Amino acid sequence: MVAKAKMKRVFTHEMNVAIDGVDGENTEVLCAAEFVAQEDIHIIGVDMDVQNRVMQSQNDGMGENWAELSQSGRRYGDGILIQGGAWAWWNTTPASVGCTQCNHILMFPEGSAIPLREEGRLYLHTCSYNLGISAGVTSGSVHVIIYYTKD
């Protein structure tokens, strides 16, 4: 006789953050959003979607919107769960605009998870890089879904 696995309910938590660019500057926001566990949970997956919008006024340019979901309150520290970036570039002569969007999905195999204790935190960090531009701004948004089970 084979024992049946106990089914667990899957919960979700969403984070939506605007990434605002500033003309010709890089804008970094540590802890743009935060998730605080109200009880012990197990993270079984994460979905991150980074979108890009270009608001060029003139001249050539390139920019990136970037996001990172981490257990650390600082960028590139230990405990990164997922990160991604979306690029945009534009040119006045010949006139053209290009964009990439980013969608990363991380799902753990059955029986695997990242534990997050009560009052444990996940931080969403964002940054808008504006590279080589004299007039124009790249901005965007990030949407994160955290999938978890409870003990």
Residue 2 lies in a domain: no
Buried b (16+ CB within 10 A) or exposed e, 45-71: bbbbbbbbbbebeeebbbbbbbbbbbb
Looking at residue 94, its pLDDT comes to: 67
Q: Say how many C-beta atoms besides its own lie within 10 A of residue 86's C-beta.
A: 24
Whole-number pLDDT of residue 55: 62
Do residues 6 and 107 touch, judged by C-beta distance below 8 A? Answer: no
Q: What residue type is 91 in one-letter code?
A: N
pLDDT of 136: 61
Instruction: Mark the ranges of the chain whose per-residue pLDDT is less than 50.
Output: none
pLDDT of residue 106: 93
The predicted pLDDT at position 2 comes to: 63
With respect to residue 6, please indicate whether it lies within any of the assigned structural domains.
no
The CATH number given to whatever domain includes residue 83 is 2.60.120
- pLDDT digits over 33-48, tens only? 999 999 999 999 999 9
What's the domain range around 130? 11-150
Whole-model pTM? Answer: 0.84
- Is position 97 within any domain? yes
Residue 67 lies in a domain: yes
Q: How many domains does one find in the chain?
A: 1
* Residue 130 located in a structural domain: yes
135 within domain boundaries: yes
The answer as to whether 5 is a domain residue is: no
Separation between Cα atoms, residue 110 and residue 68, nearest integer Å: 24
Asked if residue 4 is part of any domain, the answer here is no
pLDDT on residue 17: 93
Q: Which two tokens stand for residue 9?
A: 């309910």
